């Protein structure tokens, strides 16, 4: 059975699904965190690879020490995606995340899964009518957001937002490896079976989403990519299609981008979901095809 989709999103998924809350985070005691950082370099080009957790609770102090020094030295920040304006987001969501025809979502589910789906909506006080026209993948995302939000996880505390604000303050170039529409197209291109499997597993695993997130954040904060890889391998082992779309194909493309960027002198700080930098199909592994080696930065 799949793990909660929330865990996939947090470490290898897409950066658009949990918008930052407008309210400032409450003051909390800061705890030191030392996430993993790698570097790829030659005589005139340096590219840092930093793994993120897209949503975090307030209170983790990670943007300091070696990570901040690497960022400050870099002239360009590269993210999975640069968030577009609200109008663009709405247009793309309407065009890709909702079915204009066909049976309602509940009827697409196997009969023995329908009651659990409806109960999940009721338990979270979500209107069933608004979900019936959703594509299954978008319904899975929408449901997976709730448990972690209730536990205090928020994109506003995530590294992408912190790094973007710092880059703008330092007048650095900010660019994305993918576009908002391109990211949504990854899910939209999944077969209906894979989408429904994601939705059903999300419903079944909702009660454990907080536990899974807490474990992944602990591995991230202590610089344990092997722990993250173990969680991701468990999450994706039952769906080669999802793993290929979310992880393998994207990692290969990003490694090719890095190899091309190494031809241009300068310093670049790349921040992507930590799951992309863990396991046998990591970005670092794909870099080997280009005779490039990512070295873990010790700190």
Domain boundaries along the sequence of the chain = 5-14+30-296
Nearest partner of 131 among 123, 143, 146, 119, judged by Cα: 143
More confident residue, 243 or 131: 131
Would you state the pLDDT for residue 144?
84
Would you state the pLDDT for residue 105?
98
Nearest partner of 121 among 202, 41, 227, 213, judged by Cα: 202
User: pLDDT tier at 19 (50, 70, 90 boundaries)?
Assistant: very low
Would you state the pLDDT for residue 11?
60
45 forms bridges with which residues in the sheet? 266
Q: Tokens at residue 160, please? A: 């992408």
Reported as a single tens digit per residue, the pLDDT across 253-281 is 999 999 999 999 999 999 999 999 999 99
Q: Tokens at residue 62, please? A: 């990670």
Specify the length of the chain in residues: 299
- Proportion of the chain above pLDDT 90, given as a percent: 69
Q: Tokens at residue 129, please? A: 């009518």
Would you state the pLDDT for residue 3?
42
Q: What is the mean pLDDT of residues 229-238?
A: 74
User: pLDDT tier at 109 (50, 70, 90 boundaries)?
Assistant: very high
Whether residue 12 is predicted with pLDDT greater than 80 in this model: the reply is no
More confident residue, 1 or 89: 89
Report the alpha-carbon angle 159-276-297, nearest 5: 70
Would you state the pLDDT for residue 106?
98
Reported as a single tens digit per residue, the pLDDT across 49-93 is 999 998 899 999 999 999 999 999 999 999 999 988 889 988 999
Dist CA 248 CA 239 (whole Å): 12
Q: Name residues whose C-beta falls within 8 Å of residue 220's C-beta, 6 or more positions apart in sequence.
A: 11, 33, 35, 51, 53, 228, 274
Name the 3-class secondary structure at 198. helix
β-strands 295-296, 37-41 pairing: antiparallel
Cα atoms in the 13 Å half-sphere on the side-chain side of 224? 12
Whether residue 135 is predicted with pLDDT greater than 60 in this model: the reply is yes
Would you state the pLDDT for residue 9?
59
Would you state the pLDDT for residue 7?
56
Would you state the pLDDT for residue 24?
46
Cα atoms in the 13 Å half-sphere on the side-chain side of 28? 13
Whether residue 248 is predicted with pLDDT greater than 90 in this model: the reply is yes
Would you state the pLDDT for residue 298?
95
84-93, 180-189, 237-246, range with the lowest pLDDT: 237-246
Cα atoms in the 13 Å half-sphere on the side-chain side of 81? 19
Would you state the pLDDT for residue 27?
55
Whether residue 153 is predicted with pLDDT greater than 60 in this model: the reply is yes
Q: What is the mean pLDDT of residues 218-243?
A: 84
Would you state the pLDDT for residue 169?
98
Would you state the pLDDT for residue 28?
64
Nearest partner of 202 among 274, 117, 129, 131, judged by Cα: 117
The secondary structure of residue 135, as a DSSP letter, is -
Whether residue 285 is predicted with pLDDT greater than 90 in this model: the reply is yes
Please give the span between the terminal C-alpha atoms of the chain, in angstroms, as a whole number: 37
Q: What is the mean pLDDT of residues 285-291?
A: 97
Q: Name residues whose C-beta falls within 8 Å of residue 139's C-beta, 6 or more positions apart in sequence.
A: 105, 131, 199
Would you state the pLDDT for residue 17?
43
User: pLDDT tier at 205 (50, 70, 90 boundaries)?
Assistant: confident
Dist CA 134 CA 99 (whole Å): 6
Whether residue 2 is predicted with pLDDT greater than 80 in this model: the reply is no
- Compute CA 270 distance to the chain's CA centroid, rounded to the nearest angstrom: 14
Quote the pTM value. 0.90
Report the alpha-carbon angle 213-215-218, nearest 5: 105
Dist CA 21 CA 19 (whole Å): 6
């Amino acid at each position: 059975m799949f793990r909660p989709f929330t865990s996939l999103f947090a470490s290898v998924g897409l950066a658009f699904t949990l918008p930052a809350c407008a309210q400032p985070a409450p003051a909390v005691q800061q705890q030191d965190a030392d996430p993993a950082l790698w570097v790829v370099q030659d005589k005139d080009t340096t590219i840092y690879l930093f793994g993120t957790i897209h949503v975090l609770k307030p209170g983790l102090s990670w943007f300091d020490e070696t990570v901040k020094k690497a960022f400050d030295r870099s002239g360009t920040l590269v993210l999975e995606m640069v968030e577009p304006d609200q109008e663009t987001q709405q247009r793309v969501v309407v065009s890709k995340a909702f079915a204009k025809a066909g049976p309602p979502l509940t009827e697409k589910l196997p009969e023995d899964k329908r009651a659990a789906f409806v109960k999940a909506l009721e338990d979270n006080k979500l209107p069933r009518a608004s979900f019936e026209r959703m594509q299954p993948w978008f319904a899975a995302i929408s449901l997976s957001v709730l448990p972690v939000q209730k536990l205090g996880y928020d994109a506003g505390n995530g590294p992408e937002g912190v790094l973007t604000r710092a880059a703008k303050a330092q007048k650095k170039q900010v660019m994305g490896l993918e576009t908002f529409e391109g990211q949504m197209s990854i899910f939209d291109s999944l077969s209906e079976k894979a989408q429904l499997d994601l939705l059903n597993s999300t419903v079944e695993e909702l009660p454990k989403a907080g536990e899974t997130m807490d474990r992944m954040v602990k591995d991230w904060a202590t610089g344990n990519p092997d722990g993250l890889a173990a969680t991701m391998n468990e999450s994706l082992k039952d769906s080669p299609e999802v793993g290929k779309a979310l992880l393998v194909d994207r990692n290969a493309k990003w490694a090719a981008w890095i190899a091309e960027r190494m031809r241009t002198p300068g310093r670049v700080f790349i921040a992507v979901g930590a799951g992309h930098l863990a396991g046998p199909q990591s970005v670092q592994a794909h870099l080997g095809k280009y005779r490039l080696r990512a070295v873990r930065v010790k700190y």
